[in-house]
Amino acid sequence: MELVFKNFFLFLSKNKVLNKSAKRWGLKFGASQVVAGETIESAIAKVKQLNAKGLVCTVDHLGEFVFNREEAIEATEYCIKTLDAIYSASVNCNLSLKMTQLGLDIDEQLCLENMKRILDTAKKYNNFVRIDIEDYAHCQVTLDLFKKLNEEYKGHVGTAVQGYLYRANDDIENLNGVNLRLVKGAYKEAAEVAYQDKQEVDKNYVKIIKQHLLNGSYTAIASHDHDIINEIKRFCKENNISNNQFEFQMLYGFRTELQEQIAKEGYNMRIYVPYGNDWYGYFMRRLAERPQNVAFALRGFFSK
């Protein structure tokens, strides 16, 4: 049943008609529980609240299904405005983004130019930009463009690796020294390229976390799984890995008590704070990840 739920919501996440309709609905159906509003101002307000609790943040202006250069340039402007707002508000926060939103499917050179504009702004403010990894079809081209950008903006740009992909271990080695966010993976991928069994995914995910930490590289561990989090805490203590070499990351709206507990224990705890009216695809993937998220969303909807 869990697999049926997952496949159903992943299927819905790619529905362009529903995505378009969702923009008109606004943040209904529980999405407001996990998306920090539709404007930069609402996102910054949430970041301030989280900072006050000892939590650092990364914000993401949500967007998918970009079809033309104008939309890609508009998304780029939003990213730049977001970095401006972070600086103006003096909050402890960086930026996350997806390259498909910046024109990756339209023209790779356009995407590269848009990324450079964003990273020029991040460098000016001494901030950091995380490039999210999307589905497998975009994985290699994203990493290829990242490597070009890292040559010019090292220290201001990082990316991510998905533990459910067979290629994850090789990616970790190839990205030695890079600030990486390590995730399990949230897209529906074929058995030819990704583990399908949860236990296998978990096993490989923990493996690449330890691999990157032992390489001496900064590691962002993006997980809500308390067993995995506790295992990594033990591993770091046993191997004398400083708390300054890694951070835990969680999504806005999920396991808030655990987030605050981890921060109080002295670990870096970063919250991924999405905002914007193009929330549909993100929300569907969150529902697909765990059946419990569906109940969480319904509670949020009926409590309004």
Q: What percentage of the chain reaches a pLDDT higher than 90? A: 73
Q: What is the pLDDT of residues 30-81, one digit of tens each?
A: 456 778 788 999 999 999 999 999 999 999 998 766 889 999 999 999 999 9
Average pLDDT over residues 109-130: 98
pLDDT surpassing 50 at residue 164: yes
* Structure confidence at residue 304 (pLDDT): 37
Catalytic residue among 181, 270, 285, 286: 181
Q: Using CA of residue 122, residue 275, residue 228, residue 144, what is the dihedral sign?
A: negative
pLDDT surpassing 80 at residue 97: yes
pTM, rounded to two decimals:
0.85
pLDDT surpassing 60 at residue 157: yes
Of 28-42, 130-144, 189-203, 285-299, which gets the smallest average pLDDT? 285-299
* Structure confidence at residue 183 (pLDDT): 97
Instruction: pLDDT band for 300, please (50, 70, 90 cuts).
Output: very low
Q: What percentage of the chain reaches a pLDDT higher than 70? A: 80
Give a three-class secondary structure readout of the chain.
CHHHHHHHHHHHHCCHHHHHHHHHHCCCCCHHHCCCCCCHHHHHHHHHHHHHCCCEEEEEECCCCCCCHHHHHHHHHHHHHHHHHHHHHCCCEEEEECHHHHCCCCCHHHHHHHHHHHHHHHHHCCCCEEECCCCHHHHHHHHHHHHHHHHHHCCCEEEEEECCECCHHHHHHHCCCCCEEEECCCCCCCCCCECCCHHHHHHHHHHHHHHHHHCCCCEEEECCCHHHHHHHHHHHHHCCCCHHHEEEEEECCCCHHHHHHHHHCCCCEEEEEEECCCCHHHHHHHHHHCHHHHHHHHHHHHCC
pLDDT surpassing 70 at residue 302: no
Average pLDDT over residues 105-127: 97
* Structure confidence at residue 76 (pLDDT): 97
* Structure confidence at residue 38 (pLDDT): 84
Instruction: pLDDT band for 282, please (50, 70, 90 cuts).
Output: low
Q: What is the pLDDT of residues 27-37, one digit of tens each?
A: 455 456 778 78
pLDDT surpassing 70 at residue 299: no
Q: What is the pLDDT of residues 227-280, one digit of tens each?
A: 999 999 999 999 999 999 999 999 998 899 999 999 999 999 999 999 986 666
Q: Select the more confidently predicted residue: 13 or 139.
A: 139
* Structure confidence at residue 303 (pLDDT): 36
Catalytic residue among 60, 132, 171, 202: 132
Instruction: pLDDT band for 287, please (50, 70, 90 cuts).
Output: low
pLDDT surpassing 50 at residue 18: no
* Structure confidence at residue 286 (pLDDT): 60
Q: Select the more confidently predicted residue: 290 or 104.
A: 104
- Average pLDDT for the chain: 87
Active site residue 132: yes
- Report the distance separating Cα 169 and Cα 182, nearest Å: 11
Architecture of domain 36-278: Alpha-Beta Barrel (3.20)
